[in-house]
Amino acid sequence: MKFHLSATIGLALLCSPSYSARAWTTPATFAVRGGASSSVPSSTSLGATAIEVDTKPIEGMRPGTSGLRKKVEVWQAVDEANKNYVENFIQSLVDTAMDNNEGKPLDTLIVAGDGRYFNNEAIQIIVKVLAGNGVKNIWIPQGGIMSTPAVSAAIRTLEGGKAQGGIVLTASHNPGGPGEDFGIKYNEGYGQPAGEEFTEALYAKSLELKTFKTVEDASDIDLNADVGTTFEITDGSTVTIIDPFDSYMESLKGCFDFDGLKKFCQRDGVSILYDGMHGAGGPFAKKVLVDEIGLPESSLLRSDPRIDFGKCHPDPNLTYAADLVKKMGLKADGSSEESVDFDSIPMLGAANDGDGDRNLIAGAQCFVTPSDSLAMICDNWEAIPHFAKAGGPKGVARSMPSSAALDVVAEARDIPCFSTPTGWKFFGNLMSSKEMFDGTDYTPFLCGEESFGTGSDHIREKDGLWAVLAWMSILMKANENVPEGEPLVSVKDIVKNHWAKYGRHFYCRYDYEAVESDSANEVMDLIRDSFVNGDVSSAESGDIELVGAEEFGYTDPVDGSTTSKQGLILSFKYPSGDTARVIFRLSGTGSAGATIRMYLEKFEKDQSKHDEAAPVALKSLADRALSLVKMTELTGRESPTVIT
Ligand code: VG1
Ligand code: CO
């Protein structure tokens, strides 16, 4: 039997007037289990029939660093060549998951998204494919929106951790809306992002796919139905509307002292500004910061999810969170705007990305780089009950391109420290070493990436709000003995003291976006051929000397799996004897062309030099590296798209 599901839906989407006008249901209308909702959850039987539909394989479905990201029009199958794009991808995913489930149909899956353009339409298509494949329970959050960390929490704990996985509709920090990105991430049974073995198997299946399963004669699910409402799609497959917040709130409450934070936030001089960037994190921030901790609503900026993120780029960094950065008394290079009165600035500023898993942290006139933030959370573990209860983290980790600020603290505090390839999936195994592999227990675990990702083992994803609560906890502890009326210890004080104690790792990243793929590969090949496989002394001479080159590969200490080509590392030496490193890597999250990332890091022990802005302190190193790799010559780019 054949039918043209996505062609019809694709067209309907493009024409639907309600589409662009879709409004977000305000969090207040969320029915909390046993709470606000007045009507009783109902059960509806849709009586649909499972069918199998012929399809053709579509190229290019290899997931990257975290999920598969493409222009939304690709997912919408606007071009005939992409017909059944969503169905094909989900069928390949389900087939892979079933292989890992001894060939049996899956029992329970969560489907949720970050609310971007095409979110709800994709949920309806996916539900049908899952029902066609006999997935018994399909859980969808009320409103269809959940942050990535909340999905991870729900997989782990909802109904005793019954879900075998979660399909998250998001392209994360990439912009959304017509002409922009849409994506799908998959998280497995412990809540962790699918590993490379899974995604490679999925990709191989997508290239051989001949049919997909779905259902016919099923009406759409009402995503705004009351929590607990069920829709029996076929005899064997039922959708249940779940509460988006429950499991996640529980996991955060296990990490932090909510009562203490509530009291702390009532102190004079304590104020917090949170920027949701119109992503999925907003409603969760409202729940945590306003409803639970009692901060005023005015603490939240852009916290209503929008299909196009209010036309912003939902990437919480110095460039794209410009308003917040300004309100925190900072300039775009992270240095402070001295003309603003320090006391008029909020104590803590934070932003989350589209799917709520990234975080930017700033204090008044003080930007905290993600690598520094991670090191400082580690050094202040006593402030965080999740760690304090256990006498500190039993393991910490950072992605390789993140700075070594964490390593220095871990060494001083005698905590095992790992350096992994980019992407949260590599932390998952370490955190679940005992749970999944019966190996060493590294929990409680702390980890992070230079790309504004921080988290712990309370879930298996980076967690934007967790980082905000971690910093609030650090501030609370730092001020516990400060009498009322005395000046409070600020983020800036904490950061400066940390640098004074451990030295400062100056750090920043240059991104060259949408570079032609061939040129990007030429840059990487040049580094590989001339320096890694060649000879560093062949480099044209310069003030800052190139002293080493290597390509990062990783053997997972937990399951022994290996990953190669995870970044090219160039080591440098300044005439003063100071050392520095520059890493080149191609991004695995873009949707067009290639993005070259250049990561710069230089250690400075001398406290008198700590006040310089990072991009300034690293400028000569950047220039030296760019000339060595012939960036402008090979790519035509005179300057990066963004510096973070
Ligand atoms: C980027 C970041 C990486 C992060 C990944 C997913 O990957 O560098 O650290 O884990 O995005 O984050 P890449 O391959 O483009 O460098 V998210 O919030 O976009 O899921
Ligand atoms: Co994200």
Listing DSSP states for 254-323 in one string gives TTS-HHHHHHHTTSTT--EEEE-TTSTHHHHHIIIIIIIT---GGGEES-S--TTGGGS----STTTTHH
Q: Is the CB of 175 under 6 A from ligand 1?
A: no
What is this structure's pTM?
0.92
- 91 C-beta closer than 6 A to ligand 1: no
Q: Which atom of ligand 1 is nearest to the CA of 170?
A: 20
Residue bearing the CA closest to ligand 1, atom 4: 423
Residue 613 tokens, joined: 């802005």
Give the 3-state secondary structure of residue 241: strand
Q: Which of 415, 403, 445, 414 is nearest to 428 (CA)?
A: 445
CA distances (Å), origin 504, targets 192, 332, 372, 375, 398:
32, 20, 9, 11, 17
- Cα–Cα distance, 405 to 394 (Å, whole number): 18
What's the confidence (pLDDT) of residue 41? 80
Q: Is the CB of 424 under 6 A from ligand 1?
A: yes
Q: Name residue, tokens 């409680």.
A: 444
C-beta 449 within 6 A of ligand 1: yes
- In the prediction, which pLDDT does 201 show? 98
Nearest listed ligand to the Cα of residue 174: 1
Instruction: Give the Cα separation of 151 and 356 in Å (integer).
Output: 11
- The answer to whether the CB of 357 is under 6 A from ligand 1 is yes
Please give the number of the atom of ligand 1 that sits closest to the Cα of 174.
19
How many Å lie between the centroid of ligand 1 and the Cα of residue 192? Answer: 15
The Cα–Cα gap between 33 and 158 comes to 13
- Token look-up 């901060």 returns 295
- Report in angstroms the alpha-carbon separations of 3 from 77, 123, 126, 345: 15, 19, 16, 59
- Quick check: 67 and 181 in contact, CB under 8 A? no
Measured by CA distance, the residue closest to atom 10 of ligand 1 is 423
The pair phi, psi for residue 606, each rounded to 5°, is -70, 110
Structure confidence by residue, pLDDT tens digits, 391-437: 999 999 999 999 999 999 999 999 999 999 999 999 999 999 998 89
Q: Which residues pair with 551 in a beta bridge?
A: 568
Q: What number of residues does the chain have? A: 644
Residue nearest to atom 3 of ligand 1 (CA): 423
How many of the other CB atoms lie within 10 Å of CB of 64? 16
Task: Please identify, by atom number, the ligand 1 atom nearest to the C-alpha of residue 588.
Answer: 14
CA-CA distances (angstroms) from residue 621 to 543, 599, 641?
A: 9, 11, 18
- The confidence score (pLDDT) of residue 540 equals 84
Can you tell me which residue has the tokens 């083992």? 457
Residue at 73: amino acid letter: E
Question: Considering 152, 172, 251, 473, which one is annotated as catalytic?
Answer: 172
Q: CB within 8 A of 618, min separation 6: which ones?
A: 506, 507, 508, 600, 602
Q: What is the pLDDT of residues 57-99, one digit of tens each?
A: 999 999 999 999 999 999 999 999 999 999 999 999 999 999 9
Q: Whose CA is nearest to atom 13 of ligand 1?
A: 587
> Which one has a higher pLDDT value, 387 or 25?
387
- Site of tokens 């005793």: 160
Half-sphere exposure of 96 (CA within 13 A, CB side): 26
Question: Among this protein's residues, is 172 annotated catalytic?
Answer: yes
Name the residue with the closest Cα to ligand 1, atom 1: 589
Q: What is the pLDDT of residues 328-363, one digit of tens each?
A: 999 998 999 989 999 999 999 999 999 999 999 999
Query: What is the Å distance from ligand 2's center to 280 Cα?
Result: 10
Give dist(CA 373, CA 352) in Å, integer. Answer: 15
Instruction: Give the separation between CA 162 and CA 133, rounded to whole angstroms.
Output: 18
- The verdict on the CB of residue 247 being under 6 Å from ligand 1 is no
479 CA distance to ligand 2 centroid (A)?
A: 32
Tell me which ligand sits closest to the C-alpha of residue 371.
1
- Whether residue 591 has its Cβ less than 6 Å from ligand 1: no
pLDDT of 28 over the 50 cut: no
Distances (CA, A) of 427 to 30, 83, 450, 454: 33, 36, 14, 11
The secondary element (H helix, E strand) that includes residue 573 is strand 568-573
Handedness of CA 178, 359, 89, 191 (dihedral sign): negative
pLDDT exceeds cutoff 50 at 25: no
The mean pLDDT of 227-256, rounded to a whole number, is 97
Q: At 200, which amino acid appears?
A: E
Is the pLDDT higher at 45 or at 394? 394
Residue 408 CA to ligand 1 center (angstroms) comes to: 24
- Counting from 1 in the atom list of ligand 1, the atom nearest the Cα of 148 is 20
357 CA closest ligand 1 atom index: 18
- The model's confidence at residue 42, banded by pLDDT at 50, 70 and 90, is confident
User: Chain-centre distance of CA 5, in angstroms?
Assistant: 31
Ligand 1 pocket residue status of 588, Cβ below 6 Å: yes
Q: Which residue's alpha carbon is nearest to atom 16 within ligand 1?
A: 587
CA 354–ligand 2 middle distance (angstroms):
6
Region 201-205 average pLDDT: 98
Q: For residue 590, what pLDDT is reported?
A: 81
Q: What one-character DSSP code corresponds to residue 538?
A: G
For the residues of 447-491, what is the DSSP string, one character each? EEETTTEEEETTSSS--HHHHHHHHHHHHHHHTTTSPTTSPPPPH
- Ligand 1 pocket residue status of 453, Cβ below 6 Å: yes
Which atom of ligand 1 lies at the shortest distance from residue 590's CA?
A: 15
Q: How much is the CA Rg of the chain, to the nearest whole Å?
A: 24
Question: Using CA positions, which residue lies closest to atom 11 of ligand 1?
Answer: 589
Residue 64 CA to ligand 1 center (angstroms) comes to 9
Q: What is the pLDDT of residue 239?
A: 98
Question: Do 442 and 430 contact (CB within 8 A), yes or no?
Answer: yes
Question: How deeply is 154 buried, as exposed, middle or buried, from its count of CB atoms within 10 A (0-12, 13-18, 19+)?
Answer: buried
Q: Are 314 and 175 in contact (CB under 8 A)?
A: yes
Burial class from Cβ neighbours inside 10 Å (0-12, 13-18, 19+) for residue 17 reads exposed
The pLDDT of 141-169, averaged and rounded, is 98
Task: Tell me which residue has tokens 């901790």.
Answer: 293
- On the question of pLDDT at 523 being above 90, the answer is yes
What does the pLDDT read at residue 593? 87
Q: Which of 589, 596, 641, 642 most suits a substitution to test ligand 1, by most atoms within 8 Å of the C-beta?
A: 589
**DSSP helix/strand/coil, 200:** helix
Q: Is the pLDDT of residue 6 over 70?
A: no
Which of 40-44, 276-280, 616-620 is the least confident region? 40-44
- Express as a percent the part of the chain with pLDDT over 90: 88
Residue nearest to atom 8 of ligand 1 (CA): 451
For residue 540, the 8-state DSSP code is: P
Q: Does any ligand 1 atom lie closer than 6 A to the CB of residue 173?
A: yes
The number of the ligand nearest the C-alpha atom of 183 reads 1
Hey, which of 422, 454, 565, 585 would you mutate to test ligand 1's pocket, going by the most ligand atoms within 8 Å of its Cβ? 422
- Ligand 1 contact via 65 beta carbon (within 6 Å): yes
Centroid of ligand 1 to alpha carbon of 253 (angstroms): 27
pLDDT averaged over the chain?
92
* pLDDT of res. 26: 32
172 lines ligand 1 (CB under 6 A): yes
Q: What is the DSSP string of 499-527?
A: HHHH-EEEEEEEEEEEE-HHHHHHHHHHI
- For residue 219, how many other CB atoms are within 10 A of its CB? 12
- Residue 444, preceding peptide bond in cis (omega within 30° of 0): yes
According to DSSP, the residues that pair with 166 across neighbouring strands are: 110, 187
